[in-house]
Amino acid sequence: IDTGDAKPGNEFDWLDILGEGTTLLVACGWLGLIISSRPAGRVTEWLYYGSLLLVYSYFLDLLDEFIRYPDHIRLMSWLESLPAPVGMLVLTYGLIGWHREQRAINRQLRGRELFLRDHQLIDPLTQLYGIEYLQAVLQREIELHQSQRKALSLLILDIDNFAAFNRQHGMASGDAYLSQLSELLSNQLRYSDVVCRYAGDRFIALLPNTALPQANIMAQHLRQQLSQLAIEKQQPQLTLVEMAVQQNSAKSALHAADQAMALAKKTATLSLQPI
Ligand SMILES: Nc1nc2c(ncn2[C@@H]2O[C@H](COP(=O)(O)OP(=O)(O)OP(=O)(O)O)[C@@H](O)[C@H]2O)c(=O)[nH]1
């Protein structure tokens, strides 16, 4: 069958090739983004097939620039021109679905946010999650990590002699320090970590999918940041301990965290004592 001949180089229209080549590359990029970022489902299929049709159509467009087709194939030019508008329509339908899906997710997130505030799971001073949320989420993470055989770690942070700081500077300064510290913690940790105010002057950060060596590195980095703040602004010293969660329940993990903190404080006090 005669499927056409390659055009000689001097007939190439480089501007057309550049324009159509770029369009094809962008369409391939869309396809890649959809495949890599969307979860499987109906909306994703519409987006996928829409982009695929576009890629197909733009590819034929580009091929045109290099091949001269015989007449009987040129009559089938609908093969080249139809997929583009159909692809656009399919893609648009997918985008509308995506928009609806996003609106539903936003509604759900707002609902959850209201639920958290309603149930006083968020501490009003620091805007961090409080102990009830910590217990619930830690229990869930322990079960999840155990079933997936992944590592889970905790950071425990306690302010040293906060009672004395309050006495010296007043409760309002103490409050301001607590919210400043919480902000720093939220900013320094990763998006997936959960920072909670565990007690008055004690904080716990949950580090999902994190083994102890990595938690050590994170703690070291955090210690540096925090000690800088303490020196610059004459703020209290802090004790930071990292721990791998190997317990089966949130209750026993939190108990172990308290023990680890007590040991760290005791060791620090001992090291300050003259021998
Ligand atoms: N300003 C302020 N202080 C608080 C708040 N919650 C707890 N505190 C204070 O935190 C202090 C905690 O005291 P302790 O548990 O003895 O701890 P500490 O004085 O830091 O001593 P160590 O932890 O052993 O170093 C108390 O003095 C509380 O008044 C708060 O919301 N605002």
Q: What is the pLDDT of residues 133-165, one digit of tens each?
A: 899 889 989 998 888 888 999 999 999 999 999
DSSP annotation string for 234-261: TPPPEEEEEEE---SSHHHHHHHHHHHH
Give, using CA atoms, the residue closest to atom 5 of ligand 1.
200
pLDDT at 189: 92
Q: Is the pLDDT of residue 166 over 90?
A: yes
Residues 6+ apart with CB under 8 A from 215: 153, 154, 155, 207, 242, 243, 244
- Distance between Cα 165 and ligand 1 center (Å): 9
Give the residue-averaged pLDDT of 182-210: 93
User: Is 0.90 topped by the overall pTM?
Assistant: no
Greater confidence (62 vs 110) lies with: 62
For 83-123, the pLDDT digits (tens) are: 999 999 999 999 999 999 989 888 877 777 676 666 678 88
DSSP state of 69: P
- What separation in Å is there between the alpha carbon of 201 and the centre of ligand 1? 5
Atom of ligand 1 nearest to the CA of 158: 23
Atom of ligand 1 nearest to the CA of 173: 1
Give me the pLDDT at residue 111, please.
73
Check whether 254 has a pLDDT greater than 90.
yes
Rounded to 10°, the helix 162-169/171-188 angle is 130
257 within 8 A of 154, measured Cβ to Cβ: yes
Give the mean pLDDT of 207-220.
Answer: 95
User: Which one of 128, 161, 162 would you pick to mutate in the ligand 1 pocket, going by the greatest count of ligand atoms within 8 A of its CB?
Assistant: 162
Predicted local distance difference test score (pLDDT) of residue 110: 79
Give the pLDDT of residue 70: 82
Tell me which long-range contacts 225-228 makes (C-beta under 8 A, separation of at least 24): 225/184, 225/188, 226/181, 226/184
Please name the residues in contact with 13: beta carbons below 8 A apart, sequence gap of 6 or more. Answer: 65
**Which amino acid residue places its CA nearest to atom 29 of ligand 1?**
163
156 forms bridges with which residues in the sheet?
A: 204, 241
The preferred substitution site among 201, 239, 241, 265 for testing ligand 1, maximizing ligand atoms within 8 Å of CB, is 201
Residue 241 CA to ligand 1 centre (angstroms)? 18
What are the backbone dihedrals phi and psi of residue 8, each rounded to the nearest 5 degrees, phi first? -70, 155
pLDDT at 191: 84
Is the pLDDT confidence value at 226 over 90? no
Assigned token pair, 228: 């800088």
Q: pLDDT at residue 235 above 90?
A: no
User: Mean pLDDT across the stretch 68-87?
Assistant: 81
Ligand 1, atom 21, lies closest to the CA of 161
Phi first, then psi: give them for residue 41, nearest 5 degrees: 155, 180
Instruction: Please name which of 154, 162, 117, 161 lies closest in space to residue 137, comparing C-alpha atoms.
Output: 154
Is the model's pLDDT at 272 over the cut of 70?
Answer: no
Q: Residue 21 burial by CB count (10 A; 0-12/13-18/19+): exposed, middle or buried?
A: middle
> Quick one: which atom of ligand 1 is closest to the CA of 178?
32
The C-alpha atoms of residue 81 and residue 232 are separated, in whole angstroms, by 67
> Token pair of 117, please?
């505030």
User: What b-and-e string marks burial along 119-136, b requiring 16 or more CB atoms within 10 Å of the CB?
Assistant: eebbbeebebbbbebbbe
pLDDT confidence tier of residue 275, bands split at 50, 70 and 90: low
Residues near ligand 1 with C-beta < 6 Å? 125, 158-163, 166, 171, 174-175, 178, 200-201, 265
Q: Give residue 153 CA to ligand 1 midpoint distance, Å.
A: 25
Mean pLDDT of the chain: 89
Nearest CA to ligand 1 atom 8: 200
> Residue 140: what pLDDT?
87
The residue whose CA has the least distance to atom 18 of ligand 1 is 161
Confidence of residue 232 (pLDDT cuts 50, 70, 90): low
Q: What pLDDT does 146 receive?
A: 85
Place of tokens 């695929």: 52
